[in-house]
């Protein structure tokens, strides 16, 4: 039978050609199109919360974990301030170990002054107990004690005036704190002078010397521990990176690694069997004429998200390092094309129509 109608003839030819193509063993590329959001591979964030706590977190997005986390919480009665390094501005480059900011605690400073004064008093007592004194030295100790008391009396008057000025908001909290600490130092001088006089007047027993030596060791350890706490209040950048703009009032500093970028790509769940680690992803920023960049799939997410009424899972792809990494600002969106294994024409057709009937 000869088909004469042109339209029927054309349809017949298309059906025959389609049937031949579907059974051919030829394989063609199969790509999955989506979009990607770009993030730093590593990111260090310094933040504060409403309770006054300050925390620092180092995120390793490539491996999906938090490498480091620090949290500082302060006593309510403590006067605390945070100072950002004045060289830390958006766009500046910091090296690992550079100081980003410093916390100053008035309470810790007072504790350090008190412990240091107690240590000096105890050391003076030990020295005098071990050596003993003559009458001339005893008189000298009495004179030092009298002088120390005069210093306290004179400074106490100045301290009271400072408190009055502070109550009238004429001087700052820090200026009053300095005056209080200075007065405490003068009081410590009295304790040192009294200890020296007492040691000059009396002899020392072995038990007293042992006690003082033990006390000195304890104070030294407490001072080392306190100094370590104060040192921990200095925030150092754990990575080489660039300081980025932040528009959150709770974020004090944000440092990102400019050498490594990660693309996070949502993919319809029915494509999951066709995606594997190390597959190539072509990325392109819309409106950018620069040639597309390659990324390689690092990991596949193990959770499902509902997006636009469909089921999606996330994949992470590492962007190949390039001198044009500046194109990829954190948070920017790019088009993504995932290159899967080539498939036959029949399989290519089925992969597109299966979701329609599922």
In this predicted model, what pLDDT tens digit does every residue of 314-354 receive, in sequence order? 999 988 776 555 556 778 888 898 888 877 766 666 666 66
pLDDT of residue 23: 61
Q: Quick one: what percent of the chain has pLDDT higher than 90? A: 3
Query: In a 3-state reduction of DSSP, which class is residue 328?
Result: coil
Q: Do 177 and 116 share a structural domain?
A: yes
Query: In a 3-state reduction of DSSP, which class is residue 82?
Result: strand
Q: Which residues of the chain have pLDDT under 70?
A: 1-26, 74-80, 128-138, 199-206, 287-291, 322-328, 345-358
Is the C-alpha dihedral spanning 234, 239, 245, 246 positive or negative? Answer: negative
Could you tell me if residue 14 is inside a domain?
no
pLDDT of residue 74: 65
Is the C-alpha dihedral spanning 264, 268, 270, 271 positive or negative? Answer: negative
Q: Do 197 and 154 share a structural domain?
A: yes
Q: Do 60 and 170 share a structural domain?
A: no
Counting every residue written for the chain, the total comes to: 358
Cα–Cα distance between 249 and 320 in angstroms, integer? 33
Helices (H) and strands (E) in the chain, counts: 6, 18
Could you tell me if residue 5 is inside a domain?
no
Could you tell me if residue 11 is inside a domain?
no
Is 181 within 8 Å of 113 (Cβ atoms)? yes
What CATH number is associated with residue 299?
Answer: 2.40.30.170
pTM for this one? 0.58
Q: Do 171 and 218 share a structural domain?
A: yes
pLDDT of residue 3: 47
Could you tell me if residue 62 is inside a domain?
yes
Q: Do 249 and 221 share a structural domain?
A: no
Q: Do 133 and 219 share a structural domain?
A: yes
Q: Do 316 and 268 share a structural domain?
A: yes
Is 94 within 8 Å of 241 (Cβ atoms)? yes
CA distances from 289 to 24, 151, 285, 292, 327 (A): 38, 76, 8, 9, 11
CA distances from 311 to 32, 37, 226 (A): 15, 18, 53
Structural domain including 279 reads 25-40+260-357
Could you tell me if residue 2 is inside a domain?
no
Could you tell me if residue 281 is inside a domain?
yes
pLDDT digits (tens, 9 = 90+) for 186-241: 788 888 878 877 766 665 556 777 888 888 888 889 888 888 878 788 888 888 88
Could you tell me if residue 159 is inside a domain?
yes
Cα–Cα distance between 46 and 251 in angstroms, integer? 6
> What's the total number of domains in the chain?
3
């Amino acid at each position: 039978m000869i088909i004469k109608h042109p339209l029927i003839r054309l349809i017949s030819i298309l059906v025959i050609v389609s049937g031949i193509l579907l059974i051919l063993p030829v394989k063609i590329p199969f790509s999955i199109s989506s979009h990607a959001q770009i993030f730093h591979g590593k990111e260090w964030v310094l933040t504060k919360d409403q309770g006054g706590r300050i925390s620092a977190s180092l995120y390793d997005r490539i491996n999906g974990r938090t490498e480091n986390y620090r949290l500082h919480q302060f006593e309510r009665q403590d006067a605390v301030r945070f100072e950002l390094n004045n060289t830390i501005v958006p766009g500046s480059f910091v090296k690992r170990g550079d100081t980003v900011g410093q916390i100053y605690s008035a309470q810790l400073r007072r504790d350090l002054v008190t412990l240091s004064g107690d240590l000096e008093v105890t050391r003076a007592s030990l020295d005098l107990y071990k050596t003993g004194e003559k009458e001339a030295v005893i008189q000298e100790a009495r004179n030092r004690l009298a002088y120390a008391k005069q210093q306290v009396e004179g400074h106490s008057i100045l301290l009271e005036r400072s408190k009055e000025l502070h109550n009238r908001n004429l001087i700052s909290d820090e200026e009053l704190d300095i005056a209080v600490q200075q007065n405490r130092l003068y009081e410590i001088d009295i304790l040192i002078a009294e200890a020296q006089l007492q040691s000059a007047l009396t002899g020392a027993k072995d038990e007293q010397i042992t006690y003082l030596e033990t006390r000195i060791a304890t104070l030294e350890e407490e001072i080392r521990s306190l100094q370590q706490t104060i040192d921990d209040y200095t925030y150092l950048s754990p990575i080489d990176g660039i300081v980025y703009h932040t528009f959150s009032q709770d974020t004090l500093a944000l440092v990102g690694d400019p050498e490594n970028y990660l693309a996070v790509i949502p993919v319809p769940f029915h494509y999951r069997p066709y995606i594997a680690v190390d597959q190539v992803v072509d990325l392109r920023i819309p409106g950018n004429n620069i040639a597309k960049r390659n990324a390689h799939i690092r990991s596949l997410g193990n959770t499902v998200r509902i997006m636009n009424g469909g089921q999606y899972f996330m994949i992470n792809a590492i962007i190949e390092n390039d001198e044009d990494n500046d194109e990829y600002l954190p948070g920017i969106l790019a088009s993504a094309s995932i290159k899967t294994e080539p498939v036959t024409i029949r399989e290519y057709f089925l992969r597109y129509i299966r979701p329609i009937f599922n």
